[in-house]
Amino acid sequence: MQIIAVKDKQTIKDFINLPWGIYKNDKNWIPHLKQDIEKVFDPQQNKAHANGKIIRWVLKDNNNIIIGRIAAFVDYKIADNFEQPTGGIGFFECINDKEAAFLLFNTAKKWLQSNKMQAMDGSINFGEKNMFWGVLVENFTDPNSYGMNYNPEYYKTFFEEYGFKTYYKQFMYKRDLNVPAQQIFVEKSENIMSNGDYSITNVRGMSIDKLAENFKTVYNAAWGGHDNFKVLSSKNANKIIKALKPVYDKDIIVFVFYKGTPVAFYVNIPELNEIFKYVNGNLNWLGKLKFLYHKLKKTPNTMVGVVFGVDRDFQGKGIEGAMIKWTEENIVTLGRYDQTVLTWIGDFNPKMLKVCDNLGANIYRTYITYRYLFDREKEFKRCPIVG
């Protein structure tokens, strides 16, 4: 077997195209967009390059066939926040061959060690956590959501037999929108809405700038205090909302206000993979035409909760119940969506897990973010729980 660094058009093509061979018989697999993957490796499109570095390899067998790939990276703004400097590996794909998988892991490990790292997390992204994050370990019977990893069951065995340990689990929740709100949600909604200081609305008529500012307010209030939490600036909030604009549906982005101040949000978008399954991983001119067609046709019948948050000072007051009832009355009645999926929430955040339970949602997919300490004698510690 031969490890080859990705440096030219041919090796980039080999890196991008490998999954089509691995998943050719898997009807549930929907490929990531080639353009999304290449953005990660482009310094002009991925701000993580300003604070770190990334490299990737492909693996050939003795017959010159590509059988695996992996990327390794360091974001120095994040790496040194841990007890031991920690880099990452991602975009791991491999045939069912442990020797090949371990060769890929070893290659990434050596490179990270040469860059003064003492541990590696995987499989993760060189950038934001909402894309390409985690190893799928439960539910291999449903198509993957947009941006979420999908992999064969044997990847879990590869990671754990190599020596990776669970740093945290990631849970995705699903809720059937046609199931009436439970009585407890009705009561919570009535209690909340009987207080004239509360109001709930979608974002129709809300400007991009106002939407971004409201988003920033709730985000910082909901997640402030978490390990490695970074305050969201107005500039970055605007970037997030503008990035969502081409795909969002104003009817399914929900905010709760208390005395005019946003205290909770439920940001949904249509399930893009219900469109992207028709473009076969390539958003070229033909893919864009197909995307536009299915967007105008309103093909998706699933909405994805890309982020759900409640100001810490308002958690436990029944706001989630009020949003569920509002959704039933104002979104379900549109007749376009019949289920909602919530993007992953880590087991380090029990409060948000409880909120999802309170929403009447059920865990339907589980991922793991693994960590491997290079010093095998060092005590392993899981991700700290959010206080």
CATH number of the domain within which 9 lies: 3.40.630.30
DSSP designation for 383: P
Tracing tokens 């093909």 back to the chain, one arrives at 299
359 lies in some domain = no
Residue 376: phi, psi to the nearest 5?
-70, -10
Residue 379 lies in a domain: no
Query: Residues 162, 226: one domain?
Result: no
Closest-CA residue to 15 (of 54, 67, 52): 67
**Rounded Cα–Cα distance for residues 213 and 235 (Å):** 9
Alpha carbons 136 and 367: distance in angstroms, whole number: 4
Q: What is the Cα 134 distance to its own chain's centre? A: 8
Position 364 in a domain: no
Within a domain: 383:
no
* Integer Cα distance of 195 and 385 in angstroms: 33
Please tell me the distance from the alpha carbon of residue 348 to that of residue 333, in angstroms, as a whole number: 35
pLDDT tens digits, the chain, 387 residues: what are they?
899 999 999 999 999 999 999 999 999 999 999 999 999 999 999 999 999 999 999 999 999 999 999 999 999 988 888 889 999 999 999 999 999 999 999 999 999 999 999 999 999 999 888 899 999 999 999 999 999 999 999 999 999 999 999 999 999 999 888 888 778 778 888 888 888 889 999 999 899 999 999 999 998 888 765 555 678 888 888 888 888 888 889 999 999 999 999 999 988 999 999 999 999 999 999 999 999 899 888 899 999 988 878 898 888 888 888 888 888 889 989 889 998 898 899 999 888 888 788 777 899 999 999 999 999 999 999 999 876
Q: Are residues 133 and 203 in the same domain?
A: no
Of the candidates 222, 204, 203, the residue with the CA atom closest to the CA atom of residue 316? 222
- Domain annotation covers residue 351: no
Strands 119-122 and 86-94: parallel
- Asked if residue 232 is part of any domain, the answer here is yes
Residue type, 192: I
Cβ atoms within 10 Å of 203's Cβ, excluding its own: 22
Same-domain pairing of 219 and 120: no
Owner of token pair 């860059």: 115
Same domain for 114 and 240? Answer: no
CA nearest 324: which of 312, 342, 300? 342
User: How many domains is the chain built from?
Assistant: 2
For residue 191, what are the CA distances in angstroms to 185, 320, 358? 10, 12, 16
What distances in angstroms separate CA 277 from CA 61, 146, 152, 161, 290, one per listed residue? Answer: 30, 10, 18, 33, 10
- pLDDT value of residue 191: 85
Asked if residue 118 is part of any domain, the answer here is yes
Number of residues in the chain = 387
- Distance CA(6)–CA(351), nearest Å, equals 42
DSSP sequence for 157-181: HHHHHHT-EEEEEEEEEEEETTSPP
Distance in angstroms (rounded) separating the CA atoms of residues 301 and 271: 8
For residue 132, give both structure tokens. Answer: 């390409």
Residues 159 and 196 in one domain: no
pLDDT attached to residue 202: 93
Do residues 43 and 149 both lie within one domain?
Answer: yes
Amino acid at 310: V
Domain shared by 192 and 163, yes or no:
no
Question: In terms of C-beta density within 10 A (0-12 exposed, 13-18 middle, 19 or more buried), how is residue 266 classed?
Answer: buried
Backbone CA torsion sign across 264, 269, 270, 271: negative
Does 124 share its domain with 196?
no
Kindly calculate the radius of gyration of the chain based on its CA atoms and give it in whole angstroms. Answer: 21
Same domain, 332 and 227: yes
The answer on 68 and 31 residing in a single domain is yes
Q: Which domain holds residue 252?
A: 178-337
pLDDT at 228: 57
Q: Are residues 10 and 133 in the same domain?
A: yes
Helices (H), the chain: 9-22, 34-40, 76-79, 98-114, 154-162, 183-193, 208-223, 234-244, 273-276, 285-297, 319-330, 350-358
d(CA 353, CA 7): 42
**Cβ-contact 73, 53 below 8 angstroms:** yes
In a domain, 385, yes or no: no
Regarding whether 215 and 71 lie in a shared domain, the answer is no
Residue 382 one-letter amino acid: R
